[in-house]
Amino acid sequence: MTGYTTEELSRMTLEKWFDQEDIIKVNAAVDDIFKKGYGEVEAQLILKNGEKMMIRSSGVPLILDGKKHFAGIGLDITEQKRIQEELLESQSILKAAVENSQAGIAIADAPDGKLRYVNKAGLLIRDKSEEEIIKNIDIHNYVDSWRILHFDGTPYSTDEVPLARAILYGETCSKEFIIRRDDFEDRYVIANAAPIMDSDDNIKAGIVVFLDITERKKTEVQLQQNMDDLLETQRIAHLGTWRVNLVTNQVVWSEELYRMYGFDPTLPPPPYKDHMKLFTPESWNKLSTSLDKIRTFGIPYELELETVTKDGLNGWMWARGEAVKDSDGNIIGLWGAAQDITERKKVERKLLFLSYHDHLTGLHNRRFFEQELIRLDAKQNLPLSIIMCDVNGLKLVNDSFGHDSGDELLKNTAEIIKEVSREDDIIARIGGDEFVVVLPNTTADETVQIANHIKELAFETKVANIELSISYGYATKTDDKQSIIEIIANAENHMYRHKLYERSSMRSNTIDLIMKALFEKSNREAMHSNRVSNICQAIAIKMNFSKDAVNQIEIAGLIHDIGKIGVDEKILNKPGRLDMDERREVERHPEIGWRLLSSTNDFSELAQVVLNHHEKWDGSGYPNGLKEEAIPLEARIISIADAYDAMTSDRSYRKEMTKEEAIKELIRGSETQFDPNIVDVFLNQVLPDNSDFRG
């Protein structure tokens, strides 16, 4: 062992065999031999060649010839010691790795599942101390203690937990689950478990390694949300994307692009060679030219293209394409975006149409007329004629029968002019009731024939029982030195002369038609107007009015409620009392009547009478709150006649008053509602001679 001979050893002391550090331990072991009867030491023995050998020595006391000796045995443990140190080092490394691992590690005994060990990462995931985790936790309460949940929030069963399966069934398994902390924070975990077996393949324990993947899971969820948001954004914006591999000609579409064309997104998109079928020929030519440029030179494009869906429907698409290059700058593919702009193009077309057309009649508007006039004002279009047309009585129809009837009047006028005009003529509505026709290469005689034809067709057309009346004027440019502006002015002047001649009789006829229409709406109004007219005539005679004045008041009494043509028929014939809104509607009728009558010379003098027939002597009436002599005399007479007939007539909400009751009411209203002088004339002069004046 030592390399020394027996001779050499017989002359050596212990100090020669051990170095200074170990000799102290050796001497202590020798003392133990003599004091305790046994001594033992591990030390490095210095060999003859200078190397050292780790030995374990033990000795006992020995008495020879009366002298103290000790005898000992030395065992070479150098290799054993090296293996022990390596094992300790390995254990230390393993412990450091386990303790400082980012993965949680837990070991549980079999078969009860009692936790033996949990590392720092495992404690951190659960946010518990080692004592809290290991104490009283076994295979029966893993799920409750660790709060293990599926990703959808439902609890795990014990049989699903990886560590339990490793201990119970000896399985190696992997699972993903949630660990919910006491503060209800969820940690996403992926766990791998395996059994620990003894030499007889019996399950001694189980080990589980679980990794906290919460941040990864959040990132995955966010990425999925971003993808969902992107797809939803594409859907809302009708924006699809596409890619083409120029090496394989493989085409990839986004889901929205499938939707735009009506294809099934579970199937591959049409091959590139069939893409021409997805566009109109004109649009495909534009697109294919741009694709050639981008393939060759990498020049991006941006186009608006007319598309054709799978079902053959036409639409519009905004498309942008760019080149995809490799690291060497070679073009290897194309990609781009496409947006469905069909609705936008419809709106654009509609706006373009509206910018040059009248929305009501569909004819061209003043803007288009002025632009076309510049274009047509050329020598090759001579003679160039202009017809100006004006619809008579439009305001009267609007005020009496409503704007729907007025609109119908204008639309009928437009249809008549279109019917008479030729293909190359320009027709435009240039004002509320004004139309113009531009006739290239048309003489004055031909223009008169066209204008007269328009007027003849108008006479055959009725709106709300009113004949359509159109005044026209015309002028013709025969010399290119003439100003087109002067020609238009001449046509307008000609039209206005006709209009002045025709307007008065037309409006008078319209007033008659309005009264007829009112009486058709309500038979009660017809009878009431006639009785009021008779009472007004009788009062005027007693007040010594002239014959013309008597006729005027008689007519005023007949038409005093003409404004009710603008009141809903349901309100006029309502069987009960009117509510507040309905009463306000009825109280508009004096103003409506004034607007209707003031527009015609024949009735303009009566307009103020009709406007004020609901004013009161004390100023509390409507619409203007006039009082006493400020109220026209005729209006004061109508006020009394109107009230007396209303009181002595049956109403749906009350029975008629007797003559005596009505007289009392008139007396009571004298000097407040009614002119007292006229009340006196009516009661003391008119009624005694007209006993039939009651409803």
Identify whether the C-beta of residue 465 lies closer than 8 Å to the C-beta of residue 517. Answer: yes
Which residue is listed with tokens 């029968």? 401
Identify whether the C-beta of residue 472 lies closer than 8 Å to the C-beta of residue 388. Answer: yes
Residue range 90-125, pLDDT digits in tens: 888 888 878 888 898 989 888 888 888 888 888 888
Identify whether the C-beta of residue 323 lies closer than 8 Å to the C-beta of residue 244. Answer: no
Q: Which two tokens stand for residue 214?
A: 């919460």
CA 220 to chain centre: 29
Distance, in Å, from the CA atom of 124 to the CA atom of 214, rounded to the nearest integer, reads 13
Q: What SS3 state is found at 188?
A: strand
Beta strands at 384-391 and 331-340: parallel, antiparallel or unpaired = unpaired
* Closest by Cα among 689, 323, 362, 376 to 534: 689
Q: Phi and psi dihedrals of 275, rounded to 5?
A: -65, -25
Angle formed by the axes of helices 523-542 and 484-521, nearest 10°: 90
Q: Which two tokens stand for residue 514?
A: 């309005």
Phi-psi bin for 249: left (phi > 0), alpha (psi -120 to 50), beta? Answer: left
Residue type at 621? G
* Closest by Cα among 143, 123, 126, 144 to 181: 126
Give 20: exposed, middle or buried? Use CB within 10 Å, 0-12, 13-18, 19+. Answer: exposed
Residue range 216-273, pLDDT digits in tens: 888 888 888 888 877 777 777 778 888 989 888 888 998 888 888 889 988 888 887 8
> pLDDT band at residue 46, thresholds of 50, 70 and 90?
very high
Higher pLDDT, 599 or 414: 414
Distance, in Å, from the CA atom of 469 to the CA atom of 137, rounded to the nearest integer, reads 102
Distance, in Å, from the CA atom of 407 to the CA atom of 302, rounded to the nearest integer, reads 44
Residue range 63-77, pLDDT digits in tens: 888 888 999 999 999
The pLDDT assigned to 316 comes to 93
- Say yes or no to pLDDT of 566 above 90: no
Residue type at 326? D
Residue range 168-190, pLDDT digits in tens: 888 999 999 888 888 888 899 99
pTM (2 decimals)?
Answer: 0.45
The pLDDT assigned to 490 comes to 93
Q: Which two tokens stand for residue 496?
A: 């206005």
The pLDDT assigned to 524 comes to 80
CA 641 to chain centre: 61
Q: Is the peptide bond before 111 cis (omega within 30 degrees of 0)?
A: yes
Beta strands at 426-429 and 364-365: parallel, antiparallel or unpaired = parallel
Residue range 356-365, pLDDT digits in tens: 899 899 999 9
Q: Tell me, letter by letter, the H, E, C secondary structure of 626-651.
A: CCHHHCCHHHHHHHHHHHHHHHCCCE
All structural domains of the chain, each given as residue ranges with its CATH number in brackets, are: 6-82 (3.30.450.20), 101-212 (3.30.450.20), 239-345 (3.30.450.20), 357-507 (3.30.70.270), 522-689 (1.10.3210.10)
Q: What SS3 state is found at 274?
A: helix
DSSP state of 483: -
* Closest by Cα among 209, 237, 244 to 107: 209
* Closest by Cα among 529, 530, 539 to 563: 529
Q: Helices then strands (H, E): number in the chain?
A: 27, 21
Collect all residues with Cβ–Cβ distance below 8 Å to 210 and sequence separation of at least 6. 103, 104, 105, 106, 122, 125, 189, 190, 191, 192
The pLDDT assigned to 517 comes to 66
Q: How far is CA 322 from CA 234, 295, 297, 328, in A?
A: 19, 9, 11, 17
Residue type at 623? P
Residue range 497-546, pLDDT digits in tens: 877 656 555 555 666 666 776 676 677 888 888 899 999 999 999 999 99
Q: In DSSP terms, which residues pair with 521 in a beta bridge?
A: none
